[in-house]
Amino acid sequence: MNCVACGKANADSVTFCEFCGARLRSGGASTSEPQVVRTPPPPSAAEVAQLGKSILSSLTLGEKFVCAGSISATVGFFLPWFSSPDLGELGGLLGQLGVGGLNKVSLSGVDAAKLVGAVYFILLAAIASGVLFYFSRKSGAAQKLLIGGFQVMIGSLFGPGVIGALFFVPMIQSVAGAGFWLLGLGFCAIAAGGLITIGALGKTAR
């Protein structure tokens, strides 16, 4: 066996070169050769789409409603609730209630929460619905039934009231922004998803 360092011939049984002392066999860890750490390539768009499709297909109809509703309500909290060059009658009404300086183009949930801190409970309710949705996927039938009841309660707190104001209060209709619509529809979807889940579990129990 020839040494790769000095090129001189050595016996096949030796591990180190008899002339220069270099290692002849690769048995054991070699400190002379750096180890290359190979990182896996990032997933392609097709793989991401396939993963999303498989996740959606694993959800029940009620879970899809709850998931979409919690996302919509959370996003809607940060988008403009009221958007208009002038809040008009709504601005005048808020002025009579002692809340001044609101005649501006847009008013989001964050702006409303700065005036009334309790508005943050709307955001917390949307987030709580998403957390319950996460835990319900790994729960048994009895736990899913209980969580479905909580979802109906959460959705009913704000959804019907917001949608009712959007359809039956002209003052709100004239200045309502995308955030207010997403908020109302999101909470209604949460309540509907809870009802669908309870109904499906009721049919299974029979």
Q: Per residue in 34-73, pLDDT tens?
A: 555 667 778 777 777 777 777 778 888 999 999 999 999 9
User: Is 54 domain-assigned?
Assistant: no
Instruction: Please answer whether residues 24 and 14 qualify as being in contact, where contact means their C-beta atoms are separated by less than 8 angstroms.
Output: yes
- The stretch 115-128 carries a mean pLDDT of 91
Q: What's this model's pTM, rounded to 2 decimal places? A: 0.68
Q: Flag whether pLDDT at 29 surpasses 50.
A: no
Judge whether 165 and 204 are in contact, CB under 8 Å: no
Q: Is residue 2 part of a domain?
A: no
Whether 35 maps to a domain, the answer reads no
- Domain extent for 126: 59-205
Give dist(CA 151, CA 125) in Å, integer: 10
Domain count, the chain: 1
Can you give the pLDDT at residue 152?
94
Distances (CA, A) of 164 to 81, 124, 129, 170, 185: 15, 22, 21, 11, 11
Position 121 in a domain: yes
21: in domain:
no
Asked whether residue 189 is domain-assigned, the answer is yes
Give, for 83, the enclosing helix (H) or strand (E): strand 80-83
- CA torsion, points 179, 182, 185, 189, in degrees to nearest 10? -140
Does any domain span residue 195?
Answer: yes
Q: What pLDDT, in 10s, does the model give residues 61-70?
A: 999 999 999 9
Q: Is residue 29 part of a domain?
A: no
Taking each helix axis from N to C end, the angle separating 141-168 and 61-78, rounded to the nearest 10 degrees, works out to: 50
Q: Which residue has the higher pLDDT, 196 or 104?
A: 196
